[in-house]
Structure 1
Amino acid sequence: MNKALRYAFMAVMLLAMAVATGCAKKVGTDTPTGEGGGYTQADVENARKVQAVLSNKTIYFAFDRYEIKPEGKEALNQSAALIKQFPIVRVLIEGHTDNRGTAEYNLALGERRARAAYEYLVNLGVRPEQLEMVSYGKERPAVEGNNESAWAKNRRCEFRVVFPPIN
């Protein structure tokens, strides 16, 4: 009987905690990294603003390189300042390559590019938990073509707000 009472007590306590932590302002409760916590409509609007700025902050790389160029550093400096203003925002750093080389090599190079941007942002004070990385290698070209002009546009990192959802 004691066991049954303990389980009933635990169930009532869990239910009470769930009710007590509820909040009418919450729009959602899950982040991409599995964290709990909700967000408000203002958070969504701020995320849209951040995305509007970040969509113009693509950084480009030299052939077969992942070092950030001076103009990329300037874009990352501006991005870091913005991301730090909105601690609820989570940003996905997408690493891309041109279509030369093997799929495996390009995935690794895209990851090194995303990692370089990630580390630069963290060194500027962006919290690591606000950032995620992915490499798409050569699978998502910005521009189709097999010439230097197309390749230069495809060797890049792009930034996308993944939380709160802005769709």
Structure 2
Amino acid sequence: MRRLLIGTIPAALGLLAGCAPDPTRSTFNGEAGMAMNDGGFGNATMNNVLIHSGQMSYAVSLSNRFADTVPTTINFAFNSSQLDPQARAVLSQQAAFIRQFPEVRFAVYGHTDLVGSDGYNYQLGLRRAQVAVDYLVGQGIDRARLEALVSQGETQPLMATQAPERANRRTVTDVSGFVDGHPSVLNGKYAEVVFRDYVASAGIAQTTVGVTGAELAVEQ
């Protein structure tokens, strides 16, 4: 009996070894569906639950999406509030995003480098914010949805240097909230606001289907 048990051990180990992952096999050759679940299943439902329960601000969530989709910052020459071609290109991208969400308000914050007095830089930062807003309005954005806020002046540098630093001479555009009383604000139905552009980009037409006797009519 003992010899029988000992003899079966190598066979059992061989079976177990056969069950171990084969490093030469890709996940494509694994069980059906194993490569599909990356841990993200349920995130959309979780997000909507957080939005409806007030645990997550939809303005914050949309702000994160804005920052992930388009550049939020433009830069300026020293002591200037003139838009260069690169700044105009970035603002045009911002305008394309903003047009998709008529319910949302945006703010433009003006900044300067650390050269010059506090009072002068305060006004310079504000002028930069205003010229960015003017450009967005020229791209078809309702001015009532845009704010050129009192600038941060030189108080929030990206680079802590007294030298003229281009990275500090900037405006930053961000979501500031929702338009009060807008008919499309849906009492927290975040998905209908945020994903409306996906439906439009797919070219999905609304259809009305009616059946009368044996006749099928489809209207687009």
TM-score range, shorter chain: 0.5 to 0.7
What CA distance in whole angstroms lies between the structure 2 residues aligned with 1:69 and 1:92? 20
- Determine what percentage of the aligned residue pairs are the same residue: 35
| Cα contact 2:72–2:174 (8 A) shared by 1 | no
Q: CA deviation at 1:130?
A: 1.5
Q: Which amino acid aligns with 2:80?
A: R
Aligned Cα root-mean-square deviation (Å): 2.5
Q: Which amino acid aligns with 1:108?
A: Q
| Cα contact 2:60–2:175 (8 A) shared by 1 | no
Q: CA deviation at 1:146?
A: 2.6
Aligned residues: 126
Question: If each structure's helix is expressed as a fraction of its own residues, which one has the higher value?
Answer: 1
For 2:117, which of 77, 102, 113 is the aligned residue? 102
Q: CA deviation at 1:57?
A: 2.9
| Cα contact 1:143–1:153 (8 A) shared by 2 | yes
Q: How has the CA–CA distance of structure 1 residues 47 and 155 changed in structure 2, closer, same or farther, with 3 Å as cutoff?
A: closer
Q: CA deviation at 1:27?
A: 7.5
Unpaired segments ≥5 residues, structure 1 = 1-24, 29-39
Unpaired segments ≥5 residues, structure 2 = 1-50, 179-220
Q: How has the CA–CA distance of structure 1 residues 141 and 152 changed in structure 2, closer, same or farther, with 3 Å as cutoff?
A: same
SS of match in other structure, 2:172 = strand
| Cα contact 1:47–1:163 (8 A) shared by 2 | no
Q: Which amino acid aligns with 2:82?
A: E
Q: Which amino acid aligns with 2:85?
A: P
Q: Looking at both structures, which has the greater relative contact order when contacts are Cα pairs under 8 Å and sequence separation is at least 6?
A: 1
Partner residue, 1:114: 129
What CA distance in whole angstroms lies between the structure 2 residues aligned with 1:120 and 1:66? 12
Q: How has the CA–CA distance of structure 1 residues 154 and 110 changed in structure 2, closer, same or farther, with 3 Å as cutoff?
A: same
What CA distance in whole angstroms lies between the structure 2 residues aligned with 1:121 and 1:45? 22
Q: Does 1:49 align with 2:65?
A: yes
What CA distance in whole angstroms lies between the structure 1 residues aligned with 2:172 and 2:156? 11
Query: Which aligned segments of 4 or more residues in structure 1 are displaced greater than 4 angstroms?
Result: 25-28, 43-47
| Cα contact 1:47–1:89 (8 A) shared by 2 | no
Partner residue, 2:174: 160
Q: Does 1:58 align with 2:73?
A: yes
What CA distance in whole angstroms lies between the structure 2 residues aligned with 1:141 and 1:75? 21
What CA distance in whole angstroms lies between the structure 2 residues aligned with 1:44 and 1:144? 27
What CA distance in whole angstroms lies between the structure 2 residues aligned with 1:27 and 1:44? 15
What CA distance in whole angstroms lies between the structure 2 residues aligned with 1:49 and 1:125? 21
Partner residue, 1:143: 159
Q: CA deviation at 1:45?
A: 4.8
